[in-house]
A and B are shown apart, each in its own frame.
Chain A
Amino acid sequence: MSYTLFILLLPLISFLLIGIVDLDIPKTGKVWSHKVAGLIGTASLGIVTILSYTTAYQYFFCTPRLSDGTLPTLVPYNTTWLPLGDLHFDLGILLDPISVMMLIVISTVSLMVHIYSFGYMHGERGFQRYYAYLSLFTMSMLGLVVATNIFQMYLFWELVGVSSYLLIGFYYTTAPAIAASKKAFIVTRFADMFFLVGILIFGYYTQSFNFSFAGTVEYADNVAHFIPCNPETALVKNAAMTVLPISLVLMFIGGAGKSAMFPLHIWLPDAMEGPTPVSALIHAATMVVAGVFQIARMFPIWIEYAPQSLSIVVWVGAFTAFYAAAVACAQSDIKRVLAFSTISQIAFMMVALGVCLPGHGEHLNHSGLGYMASMFHLFTHAMFKACLFLGAGCIIHAVHSNEMALMGGLRKYMPITHWTFLISCLAIAGIPFFSGFSSKDEIVTACFQYSPWCGAWMTMVAAMTAFYMFRLYYGIFWGTENKEAHAHHTPHEAPWTMTLPLVVLSVITVGTGVVTTLGGFLHWEWASFGSIVSASGIPYTVHFDPVVASVSTVVAVCSILLATWIYKDEKQPIADKMYAAAPRLHRWAYKRFYMDEVYQFVTHRIIFARVSRPIAWFDRHVIDGFFDFLAWGTHKTSALIKGFQSGSVQTYAFWFFLGTLLLLLIMLF
């Protein structure tokens, strides 16, 4: 399957081509030359998508399973990029169930976004630059998921961060976009620093960066080599358990930064300053789940050497899910609502990974349910959240604003957007026969197995999800129509380039939902996501827990009805009453519980004023002075020895001879 190399090479080539070559061919006229960049990018992505699907087909259906029923891990391509003695940095392609699944997700969503951007970015300045960045991002993200080792993952991880920075700051003439791109880059870089430290600790002790999960024992042996201990197996494992949890938690901090977990989430809402298709691709479907993917990738090591530390993941995830859902209930900017919804949903995936403990109690046969559910939710979420964002893009395209107050009653003007948006809202709310139901239900089931409190908590967050999504839905498509705004600019449906991706994504959402829901109830083995992706690699069928399924369905329906009751009509007396009853709570939630202000305070008042300023003084006066002195000294010495180079051959021979004698003396004594 060496053709998988082209999955990385094609976007790279199209990035270089679009990014460097001036495609403004004068003869072809303005309209045509405008589109060349987009066509090149879309064409290369189309081929990448075909290759990804071929890879998936070959991998899942044509590759023979190993004797224990697991899918083999294939490495079609691997090369040593930078040798460092025993350690070496490799670049390669690794195919296993999760990386192949990610290939599908990334290429599908990216292709949709490429097509959609034709319409959305039409006539925009920097159209070519935009497509170059998109190609760069796609290449980096694909490289991240197929990484054969943690270092390659880090390399592409940073490339993804750079392309995200470039795309958030795409409208670089507007101040908020600049601020948002800087914020995103700084916050994620701050988190990445921990990731890097984690990688270095990991590499130092295990003497390997490679993901070789078959031999996790090998890691333990290597760690034991560094920490002197009795060579009995139990003790060897103990040695590994003292070091590896630290590095894994540090890596998790890096992942939390990318995946916008509390308190490192502050960059994601601001990142919505970028073009909306970019938000759909990067800040909803692909890049932000890199943190989840990273934990899933390192999961065999987590489970083997740091099972207790997984509870950190659960706590962070559970709190973030609730916090983001609470904030989402009060936002008025539709992209902000979706951003917080994304944070909350990613937190669901994190929690699911954290609660996944194999051999937990009597549910031995359910081992690894959380892992599977997390990956499944990653897949379904990518599809319906991309659809929601792209729909939001259509709405913004029509209304020219992000504010819900200027919308309302749009269902008459934009039928396709309306229906696809509704489907995605039903999916994210967890209504049966939509894809979100199956995945979210499995997460909640896994949480209940972990602890009833956790399950109850996540059910509550799921209810909040259904509520705020339908608040958003009714606010846009029903509710009070802003007649004044619509009077001199009637909203209209978007062109086909923009609606086609919406339809495709919602078809995927419904299709996945119908198949997996029926499969879950009727016990079809082939229809279960767990048959291809699971923690241990051994396929198993998910059986819906009827209690959990019915409870979560009822809760979701109730929340939707509540939202309908409050927000559907033109007049919203209940909403006004709620606001009047707790204005402060609303204000707090609207202001995101003042997290940005807390950051401002900590960075400006404490770090900048109390720490940085004295250090800056020291740097300017002491360290700079020292280096000025060095530079001065260098110049003086240079002037001092210039006579050495006299230009006469006799002197040269003399120095030659003298040097030889001196060296002889050095060698003799």
Chain B
Amino acid sequence: MDYSQFLNMQAELSLLAVIVILFVADLFMCPDGKNGKGVYNTCLPVVLLTVHTLLNLCPLCHEAGEAFGGMYQHTPMMSIVKSILSIGTVITFLMAHKWLSREENLVKQGEFYLITLFTLLGMYFMISSGHFLMFFIGLETASIPMAATVAFDKNRYESAEASAKFILLALFSAALLLFGISLIYGVTGTLYFDGIGQAVSNCEGFNPVMLLGMLLFITGMGFKISLVPFHLWTADTYQGAPTVVTGYLSVISKGSAAFVLFTVLIKAFGAEGLVQAWDQAFLWIIIASITIANLFAIRQNNLKRFMAFSAISQAGYLVLGLMDGTAQGMTSLVFYLLVYMVANLGAFAVITVVEENTGGITIDSYNGLYKSNPKLSFLMTLCLFSLAGIPPFAGFFSKFFIFMAAFNAGWHWLVLIALINTVISLYYYLLIVKAMYIIPNDNPLPGFKVDCYSRTALFLCVAGVVFLGICGIAYNFIDGFAYGLDNVAKCCMDAVDCCCSQSCH
């Protein structure tokens, strides 16, 4: 056996190393929180994960490769997405410091980092999978520990309820997904993505069973990305889960699933007839996601619930990049993911610090926040502007690219509907800005000093929001590694040609 293929799994192996170190280190931590142990506890995972991210970004891993006979795939684009996810996790850990320093959480600090990193590891494997079994293992590794983090405040009734809802519906969607995978296996006789792609393009005619299998795969991913109509768990879970976990769920978990959806659809279901079919399905899913989520978001007063609906509609925009199926679509999707991550985590960072310091979690309680906490209000405004897509912040450009990708692919009406929905989303994002700046309030939430961890998280997010907007370098960088349907189609053609010439001889 050639062990050099393990080098391709650098990202996963180094993350596993981080997990092991943390696991051992946790044994020696004093749980009583005296003598500044809490600081040490947050520092270690953040530093380790940062090192891991930097390792991931180094040029060594910018070469494509595979391991275990194609079960595990590696491309530069995947390593970029993994880096984005791990940066998001670093920000989440920074945000979590204050929450984990609560008395009841001090004992469990180490668990939080470990469980979260396990979900991240699962996502890594999911992203890099080249085979449906690998994909499914990754998916479940990501989602079962996730339920544990949702229930992290287990003494709080809402947290437990959220977790129960999450795990039940996750099971339901996993069952459907498995059923879909078995149907696909029945039709094609293989579970390799490439093999399925070739089998589908070779077989003639239109197979409804294949279609059903694909649809069930889409529903499984739709659940993870929380697209309408698979989104109903989102609001309850987001509201009940600890705020930090909500931030993590809304960005990292969602983002990884969206990327995997894109790559698997392209690799396995990129054949002529199937593309039209999933285009049709996504057309309705996107319209429903964006519109229904926006309509719900207007009515919310609880900020976490509000962010849940905002996240659903953002997921709709994210998947819009899929409609193109080209390299441009992939670039715009990944760029959207990156920009959405910094803006959303920035907003969640503000929500977390406000909640931890004052307990305010409703939009009403933010009335007049500007007077007591001008800097926080300003940062929140920047993040919301970016989420709404106001130039010159990053959100404008990411929306612009994704709309352009869809428009170029000929989805003019869809882009128009998405644009109209942008206006609605602007309305509800501005509701918060209005609460903070305009609505008069004699007793706003008291002013407080933000701890340095949250400060770092906020700084990272806002820097991202501002600089990703002004500098197009990030987009160009991602664009260099993107691939889409056109490339895959070309590869398939080559493979078919190869087969033909062989059979001729």
Q: Chain A: residues with CB nearer than 8 A to chain B?
A: 79-85, 631, 634-635, 637-639, 641-642, 644-645, 647, 649, 651-653, 655-656, 658-660, 662-664, 666-668
Contact = CB atoms under 8 A, between A and B. Distances in A.
A638 B298 CA distance: 8
B285 A83 contact: no
B490 interface: no
B215 A645 contact: no
Contacts of B427: 631
A485 to B, nearest CB: 49
Contacts of B215: 660, 663-664, 667
Contact of A663 (B284, B292, B404): B284
B475 A641 contact: no
Given A83-B479, A666-B280, A666-B284, A659 B295 contact: no
B235 A645 contact: yes
B316 to A, nearest CB: 14
A645 B424 contact: no
B165 interface: yes
Nearest to A635: B298
A85 B400 CA distance: 12
B285 A667 contact: no
A28 B132 CA distance: 69
B298 A649 contact: no
A81 B236 CA distance: 41
18 contacts: A79-B473, A79-B476, A83-B475, A83-B476, A83-B479, A85-B328, A637-B295, A638-B295, A638-B296, A641-B292, A645-B232, A645-B235, A649-B168, A649-B169, A649-B233, A656-B223, A660-B215, A660-B216
B219 interface: yes
Contacts of A645: 232, 235, 296
B176 A660 contact: yes
Nearest to A650: B168
A193 B212 CA distance: 54
Interface of B: 164-165, 168-169, 172-173, 176, 208, 211-212, 215-216, 218-219, 223, 228-230, 232-233, 235-236, 277-278, 280-281, 284-285, 292, 295-296, 298-299, 328, 397, 404, 408, 424, 427, 471-473, 475-476, 479
Given A652-B165, A659-B230, A664-B215, 16 more contacts: A79-B476, A80-B476, A83-B472, A85-B328, A631-B427, A638-B295, A641-B295, A642-B296, A656-B169, A656-B172, A656-B219, A660-B219, A663-B215, A663-B281, A663-B284, A664-B211
Contacts of A659: 219, 228-230
Contacts of B233: 649, 652
Contacts of A644: 232, 292
Contact of B165 (A83, A634, A638, A649): A649
A83 B404 CA distance: 11
A80 B296 contact: no
A652 B211 contact: no
B260 to A, nearest CB: 19
A159 B481 CA distance: 34
Nearest to B470: A81
Contacts of B169: 649, 652-653, 656
Q: Closest 7 CB pairs between A and B?
A: A659-B229, A652-B232, A638-B295, A81-B472, A667-B277, A663-B281, A660-B219
A80 B331 CA distance: 15
Nearest to A659: B229
B235 A653 contact: no
Contacts of B299: 638-639, 642
A84 B328 CA distance: 10
Contacts of B475: 83
Contact of A656 (B208, B211, B230): B230
Given A645-B232, A652-B233, A668 B208 contact: yes
A634 B295 contact: yes
A627 to B, nearest CB: 9
A664 B165 contact: no
Contacts of A79: 472-473, 476
B466 to A, nearest CB: 12
Contacts, number: 92
A662 B218 CA distance: 13
A587 to B, nearest CB: 49
A613 B377 CA distance: 39
A83 B228 CA distance: 32
Contact of B211 (A631, A639, A658, A667): A667
B434 to A, nearest CB: 15
Nearest to B278: A667
A663 B285 contact: yes
A83 B473 CA distance: 10
A652 B476 CA distance: 41
A652 B167 CA distance: 13
B292 A80 contact: no
B230 A647 contact: no
Nearest to B211: A667
A660 B172 CA distance: 12
Contacts of A637: 295
Contacts of A635: 298
A668 B208 CA distance: 7
A501 B298 CA distance: 61
Contacts of A667: 211, 215, 277-278, 280-281
A631 B423 CA distance: 11
Contacts of A660: 176, 215-216, 219
A89 B248 CA distance: 35
A23 B408 CA distance: 50
A668 B295 contact: no
Given A83-B475, A659-B230, A660-B176, A666 B295 contact: no
Contacts of A80: 472, 476
Given A80-B472, A666-B284, A656 B173 contact: yes
A406 to B, nearest CB: 47
Contacts of B404: 84-85
A639 B199 CA distance: 48
A631 B431 CA distance: 14
B284 A82 contact: no
A656 B284 CA distance: 15
B295 A655 contact: no
Contacts of A638: 295-296, 298-299
A294 to B, nearest CB: 24
Contacts of B228: 659
Contacts of A655: 229, 232
B184 to A, nearest CB: 15
B332 to A, nearest CB: 11
Given A649-B165, A649-B169, A656 B281 contact: no
Nearest to B404: A84
A659 B216 CA distance: 11
A658 B230 CA distance: 10
B473 A647 contact: no
Contacts of B168: 649, 653
A635 B294 CA distance: 10
B230 to A, nearest CB: 5
Nearest to A637: B295
Contacts of B408: 85
- Between B173, B229, B471, the greatest number of chain A beta carbons within 10 A of the residue's beta carbon is seen for B229
B285 to A, nearest CB: 7
B229 A658 contact: yes
Contacts of B211: 664, 667-668
A645 B300 CA distance: 12
A591 to B, nearest CB: 43
Contacts of A668: 208, 211
B258 to A, nearest CB: 18
A511 B208 CA distance: 87
Nearest to A638: B295
A328 B219 CA distance: 77
Given A641-B292, A656-B169, A667-B215, A634 B472 contact: no
Nearest to A85: B408
A81 B401 CA distance: 13
Contacts of B212: 664
